[in-house]
Amino acid sequence: MADFIGAVDQGTTSTRFMIFDHGGNEVARHQLEHAQILPRSGWVEHDPVEIWERTNSVIQNALRHGGLSATDLVAIGITNQRETTVVWDPRDGRPYYNAIVWQDTRTDAIASALERSGQGDVIRRKAGLPPATYFSAGKIQWILENVDGVREAAERGHALFGNTDAWVLWNLTGGPDGGIHATDVTNASRTMLMDLETLDWDDELLGFFGIPRAMLPAIKSSSDAGAYGVTRTSRPLRGAVPIAGVLGDQQAATVGQVCFSPGEAKNTYGTGNFLVLNTGTELVRSRHGLLTTVAYRFGDAPVVYALEGSIAVTGSAVQWLRDQMKIIKTAAESEDLARTVDDNGGMYFVPAFSGLFAPYWRSDARGAIVGLARYNDNAHLARATLEAICYQSRDVVEAMERDSGVHLDVLKVDGGVTANDLCMQIQADILGVPVSRPVVAETTALGAAYAAGLAIGFWQDTDELRTHWKESRRWKPLWSDDQRAEGYAGWQRAVERTLDWVRVP
Residues in touch with Mg ion (CB under 5 A): 11, 249, 270, 444
Non-local (6+) Cβ contacts of 171 within 8 A are: 52, 55, 93, 179, 233, 234
As measured in angstroms, the least distance from the Cβ of 254 to Mg ion is: 13
x/- track of binding to ligand ATP for residues 268-307 (CB under 6 A): --xx------------------------------------
Interface pick for ligand ATP out of 123, 347, 417, 431 (rule CB under 6 A): 417
Q: Which partner, ligand ATP, Mg ion, none, binds residue 376 by CB below 5 to 8 Å per kind?
A: none
How many of the chain's residues bind ligand ATP (CB under 6 A)? 22
> Based on CB atoms, which residue is closest to ligand ATP, 10 or 112?
10
Examine residue 319 and tell whether it contacts ligand ATP (CB under 6 A). Answer: yes
3-state secondary structure of 71: helix
Q: Considering only residues 195-254, where is the footprint of ligand ATP by CB under 6 A?
A: 249
Interface pick for ligand ATP out of 163, 420, 425, 498 (rule CB under 6 A): 420
Examine residue 133 and tell whether it contacts ligand ATP (CB under 6 A). Answer: no
H or E element in which residue 4 lies: strand 4-10
> CA triplet 490, 331, 274: central angle to 5 degrees?
60
> CA triplet 99, 104, 109: central angle to 5 degrees?
115
Rounded distance between C-alpha atoms, residue 243 and residue 6, angstroms: 9
Q: Considering only residues 325-344, where is the footprint of ligand ATP by CB under 6 A?
A: 331-332, 334-335
Examine residue 425 and tell whether it contacts ligand ATP (CB under 6 A). Answer: no
Q: Is the separation of the CB atoms in 173 and 232 below 8 Å?
A: yes
Q: Is the separation of the CB atoms in 386 and 299 below 8 Å?
A: no
> Based on CB atoms, which residue is closest to Mg ion, 120 or 270?
270
In 225-377, alpha helices (H): 249-256, 315-323, 333-338
Strand partners, 435: 411, 475
Q: Which partner, ligand ATP, Mg ion, none, binds residue 334 by CB below 5 to 8 Å per kind?
A: ligand ATP
As measured in angstroms, the least distance from the Cβ of 147 to Mg ion is: 28
Does residue 359 have a cis peptide bond before it, meaning omega lies within 30 degrees of 0? yes
> Based on CB atoms, which residue is closest to ligand ATP, 113 or 331?
331
Cβ-closest residue to Mg ion?
Answer: 11
> Based on CB atoms, which residue is closest to Mg ion, 56 or 314?
314
Q: What is the DSSP letter of 392?
A: H
Q: Which partner, Mg ion, ligand ATP, none, binds residue 355 by CB below 5 to 8 Å per kind?
A: none
Secondary structure (DSSP) of 272-288:
SEEEEEEEETS-PPPSS
Q: Is the separation of the CB atoms in 430 and 484 below 8 Å?
A: yes
> Based on CB atoms, which residue is closest to Mg ion, 262 or 447?
447
Rounded distance between C-alpha atoms, residue 391 and residue 384, angstroms: 10
Which of these ranges, 225-233, 285-293, 311-319, 338-346, lies near ligand ATP under the rule CB under 6 A? 311-319
Distances (CA, A) of 112 to 82, 356, 424: 21, 14, 36
> Based on CB atoms, which residue is closest to ligand ATP, 60 or 319?
319
Interface pick for ligand ATP out of 32, 109, 225, 419 (rule CB under 6 A): 419
Q: Is the separation of the CB atoms in 108 and 76 below 8 Å?
A: no
Interface pick for ligand ATP out of 77, 128, 415, 447 (rule CB under 6 A): 415
Rounded distance between C-alpha atoms, residue 58 and residue 47, angstroms: 17
> Based on CB atoms, which residue is closest to ligand ATP, 390 or 431?
390
Which residues bind to ligand ATP, rule: CB under 6 A? Answer: 11-14, 81, 249, 270-271, 315-316, 318-319, 331-332, 334-335, 415-417, 419-420, 423
